[in-house]
Amino acid sequence: MKKYFSEKQSAFATFFGGPLAGGLLVYKNLRTLDQKEKANIVLSVSFLLLIVSFVVVFNISDDKLARAVGSVTSATYALFAYYYHRIFLKKIVDGRIEEGEAKASNWTVALYSVGGIVITLTVAFIIGISQPAYPGSKIEFGETSNEIYYDKGNVNFEEIKKVAGILKISGYFGNDAQTSARLERENNVLVLKLMILQDYLEKAEIKDALQEMHKSLELNLNCKAKIIAEYYDLGGNLHQKIF
């Protein structure tokens, strides 16, 4: 027996599972109605919008703006899925259900909601790890291709080489895994940005090492410098500590 998802179930899936979950229910209803071409278009558009939204968000440096864009994109697609169901599917689906054909169970809706969340997080993770650690050009060092990002004309190659040497001596640049840093000059102050896990930043030996690195920067490059240690919390918020 064919089973259909009602408007309320689509709204529930969208609310709890995100825009993709609502799109999946629209896709499933269209497949059940043997409208395979429309179903495939809806599914393709769903994934395309999901990928584009994450690519755009990950490439916006301002966290608040990135969140705003992400929220607007999600809301836009959620409204699209909701109104597509209401305008094109509601009468047909409600009519089929009234004629005795089965409505899908809420457990099935819950599974699609969870599936929507899992797929969304997976796509976000894949796109996230494929993005560069910092904006700008980069130079790689060592066997693990450790990276220093910079803006051309802002710092010179000799400065970058000296910083790479300091990072290697300090242990930030090693041979076990690739690590990244960004070097920039702000108001005649050399700024070195490093990604460090929050747990490590709480350790006294790490704080001491960063203080020593700061002294070494000023001594070897003969200028004022500061180190900004950065990390993201579980909510995606960027935090910074200055040394």
Is 154 in the same domain as 123?
Answer: no
pLDDT at 55 over 70: yes
Structure-model confidence comparison of residues 212 and 93, the more confident one? 212
d(CA 132, CA 135): 7
Is 11 in the same domain as 81?
Answer: yes
**Beta bridge pairs of residue 229:** 194, 241
Instruction: Give the pLDDT confidence score for residue 184 in this predicted structure.
Output: 96
d(CA 33, CA 18): 24
Is 121 in the same domain as 155?
Answer: no
Last residue of a domain, one of 103, 130, 157: 130
DSSP string, 123-151: HHHHHHHHS-SSSSEEEEETTTTEEEEE-
Is 169 in the same domain as 196?
Answer: yes
Please give the model's pTM, rounded to 2 decimal places: 0.66
Structural domains of the chain, count: 2
Across 89-104, average pLDDT: 75
Structure-model confidence comparison of residues 206 and 86, the more confident one? 206
Q: Write out pLDDT tens, residues 99-154.
A: 666 788 889 999 999 998 999 889 888 887 788 888 899 999 998 999 999 999 99
Instruction: Please give the C-alpha separations between residue 132 and each of 69, 206, 228, in angstroms, as whole numbers.
Output: 20, 25, 18
Is 109 in the same domain as 165?
Answer: no
CATH, residue 184: 3.30.300
Residue 57 has a CB neighbour count (10 Å cut-off) of 22
**Beta bridge pairs of residue 193:** 182, 228
User: Can you tell me which residue has the tokens 């608040």?
Assistant: 64
Is 147 in the same domain as 118?
Answer: no
Last residue of a domain, one of 80, 102, 130: 130
Last residue of a domain, one of 130, 145, 160: 130
* Amino acid symbol at 41: I
Q: Write out pLDDT tens, residues 151-172.
A: 999 999 999 999 999 999 999 9
d(CA 172, CA 75): 41
Structure tokens at 15: 């609310």
DSSP string, 2-14: -EE--HHHHHHHH
pLDDT at 88 over 80: no
Confidence of residue 63 (pLDDT cuts 50, 70, 90): low
Confidence of residue 226 (pLDDT cuts 50, 70, 90): very high
What count of Cα atoms within 13 Å lies in the side-chain half-sphere of residue 49?
A: 22
Alpha helices in the chain (DSSP H): 7-17, 19-32, 36-58, 63-84, 90-98, 106-130, 157-170, 198-201, 204-221
Residue 88's domain comprises: 3-130
Residue 176 burial (C-beta neighbours within 10 Å; 0-12, 13-18, 19+): exposed
Task: Give percent of the chain with pLDDT exceeding 70.
Answer: 93
